[in-house]
A = this chain, B = another copy of it.
Amino acid sequence: MADSSTCHHDRAFLSCTIVANAPIHTVPGEGLVTEMQVSWEGPVPQPGQFFMLRLERSGVLLGRPISVLGYRNGLVSFMIAERGKGSRELVTARAGEAIELSGPLGNTWPVPPLGDGPIALVGGGIGIAPLIYLSERLPPGSFHFYGGFRSKPYGLEGFPPESLTLASEDGSVGYRGRIPDVFNPAGFRAVYACGPTPMLKRIAEVCGQAPCYISLEERMACGVGACLGCTVRTTRGNRRCCVDGPIFPAAEVLFDA
């Protein structure tokens, strides 16, 4: 916690307005996925960072951590999947509604190490969001995107097919199965992954000591390192997912601890 005394003036808490919130995916039984745009006059977020989002009229207590999907001209965008009560509120919110944002929070994807070969972006479901924002900063053709979905894919329409490998659990697109079944880190300069913890664990295993960075999800209350609720156990001891992460070197994370 020695770093908790760092100054963080590159962030803000602001009451903002939802500019748009459009469904991009609606598989019955799986819940809604929307892309939300929010006016944001605070500091520019970097790929890998997230915000805490809470509607002004919220029926839940805590903000929800959501990764930045993109940013342009005072508009920050998010890709939000419906899971429980808090995310349901967010996906069903409407343009014009007031929303409170804290952020940008957390660390950023590290600069890729020097070397040969493309970079692998490995996203599971809604985990593609922070990788999409990262991909905008990478030279075209310098990365390959692996996307794993339960059923139909979403959010990856903008990528040229030759840079995409898709998998789906029900076989409705690409490989039938999970991304770790088809992903091989060999030949990649570095691996950047985000998705459900079991997926990240398997990615971390296949990557071994090769450069691999994973963005982890933990329940959060404060999002700023104050509550110690989002602990990640690592080879270097307890780390807070919200400020020491959410991105960690895969080899440092103790998954079963």
Contacts and interface: CB of A to CB of B under 8 A. Distances in A.
Contacts of A57: 59, 89, 92
Total copies of this chain within the assembly: 2
A57 B89 CA distance: 8
A94 B18 CA distance: 15
A28 to B, nearest CB: 18
Contacts of A58: 59
Main SS class of interface, A: loop
Interface of A: 57-59, 89, 92, 94
Contacts of A94: 94
A205 to B, nearest CB: 41
Tell me which of A57, A58, A59 has the highest count of chain B C-beta atoms within 10 A of its own C-beta.
A57
Nearest to A94: B94
A85 to B, nearest CB: 9
CB-based closest 6 A-B pairs = A59-B59, A57-B59, A94-B94, A58-B59, A57-B89, A57-B92
A92 B96 CA distance: 11
A57 B86 CA distance: 11
A54 to B, nearest CB: 12
A92 B92 CA distance: 15
6 contacts: A57-B59, A57-B89, A57-B92, A58-B59, A59-B59, A94-B94
A131 B59 CA distance: 34
